[in-house]
């Protein structure tokens, strides 16, 4: 999959791209079908919400689940990353965020690269997120909010928030957010299952809690250029990966081999 020049220009200008229906209903059913069993496991890769037993995020499923392993090598994910980042990539992080109905908690305003730089010593922002909606994302179930163009500010000053949620994050203060929003506004891309959001590592984003009765499952593959590998190994391997082998993509229909299992 090769992105047209206009999309590359929009990515550079706005910091994100939206592709409705990048993955088919059948492919989404295969991906989503794995989640109950992944979330049911008691393992450190499942980080639970502060308030209870509900999974907030699952890390690294692509290292132990064949369906997500295939997704992390999918040409519709990896080809755009290679094109936008300008070279071969490896997977720095992999998350399946639940944002469960009623229980899904806030993600404070942040830049992912802020955390990757501060915690993992990633040299430059040659990294980005490839997100796929596994549920419908609407205005009620805590959609991701972006500040368009904010990635062009480079790395912003951030404070380490260890208390607001169950997951530590380098977050950006209110005065900075106010200034950025005055300039760029806020957008919250919505869409059906299978919608893809590709966004820059420095794009400022966050999401509110999910008060609705609808889950909001999103999978995030964070790709980093292989010549930009991290240099500090402070965080667990399942959060910040250390396998810097360039990803070789699979066939475009690679998820369909799991169809029968999903249908059983
Ligand atoms: C993130 O920023 O890493 C997750 C945000 C979300 O899933 O709402
Ligand atoms: Mn983030």
Per-10-residue mean pLDDT of the chain, 264 residues long, equals: 96 98 98 98 96 94 98 98 98 98 96 96 98 98 98 96 90 97 98 98 98 98 98 97 98 93 58
Write out the DSSP string of 144-213: -EE-TTGGGG-SPP-EEE-SSSSS-EEE--HHHHHHHHHHH--B---B-TT-EEEEETT--EEE----SS
Ligand sitting nearest the alpha carbon of 131:
1
Give every CB contact of residue 60 below 8 A, 6+ residues apart in sequence.
45, 94, 238, 239, 241
pTM value is 0.96
Supply the range of the domain harboring residue 225.
5-263
Expressed in angstroms and rounded, the spacing between residue 164 Cα and the centre of ligand 1 is: 14
Spatial separation of the C-alpha atoms in residues 121 and 234, rounded to whole Å: 9
pLDDT at 260: 67
Pocket test for ligand 1, best of 16, 97, 105, 106 (most atoms within 8 A of CB): 97
Distance CA 117, CA 154 (A): 12
Number of domains the chain contains: 1
Q: What confidence tens digit (pLDDT) does each residue in 44-90 have? A: 999 999 988 999 999 999 999 999 999 999 999 999 999 999 999 99
Note the pLDDT of residue 51.
85
Pick the residue whose CA is nearest to atom 2 on ligand 1: 206
Task: Please give all residues whose beta carbon lies within 6 A of any atom in ligand 1, as ranges.
Answer: 97, 99, 107, 144, 205, 207, 218
User: What atom in ligand 1 is closest to the CA of residue 129?
Assistant: 3
CA of 260 to the centre of ligand 1 (A): 31
pLDDT at 167: 87
**How much is the pLDDT for 261?**
60
The CATH number of whichever domain residue 106 belongs to comes to 2.60.120.620
Q: Which residues surround ligand 2, an ion (CB under 5 A)?
A: 112
Report the largest interatomic distance among the alpha carbons of the chain, rounded to a whole angstrom. 52
Q: In the prediction, which pLDDT does 240 show?
A: 98
């Amino acid at each position: 999959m090769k992105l047209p020049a206009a999309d590359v220009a929009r990515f550079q200008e706005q910091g994100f791209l939206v592709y409705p229906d990048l993955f088919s209903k059948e492919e989404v059913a295969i991906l989503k079908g794995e989640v109950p069993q992944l979330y049911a496991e008691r393992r450190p890769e499942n980080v639970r919400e502060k308030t209870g037993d509900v999974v907030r995020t699952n890390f690294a499923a692509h290292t132990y689940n064949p369906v997500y392993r295939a997704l992390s090598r999918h040409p519709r994910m990896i080809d755009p990353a290679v094109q936008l980042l300008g070279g071969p990539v490896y997977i720095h992080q992999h998350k399946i965020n639940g944002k469960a109905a009623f229980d899904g908690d806030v993600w404070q305003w942040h830049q992912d690269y802020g955390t990757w730089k501060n915690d993992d010593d990633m040299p430059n922002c040659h990294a980005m997120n490839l997100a796929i909606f596994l549920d419908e994302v609407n205005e009620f179930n805590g959609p991701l909010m972006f500040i368009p163009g904010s990635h062009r500010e480079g790395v912003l000053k951030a404070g380490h928030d260890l208390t607001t949620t169950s997951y530590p994050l380098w977050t950006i203060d209110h005065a900075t957010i106010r200034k950025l929003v005055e300039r760029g506004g806020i957008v919250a891309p919505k869409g059906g299952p299978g919608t893809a959001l590709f966004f820059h590592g420095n794009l400022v984003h966050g999401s509110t809690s999910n008060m609705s009765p609808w889950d909001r499952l999103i999978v995030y593959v964070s790709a980093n250029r292989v010549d930009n590998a991290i240099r500090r190994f402070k965080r667990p391997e399942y959060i910040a990966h250390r396998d810097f082998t360039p990803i070789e993509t699979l066939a475009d229909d690679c998820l369909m081999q799991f169809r029968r299992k999903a249908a059983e």
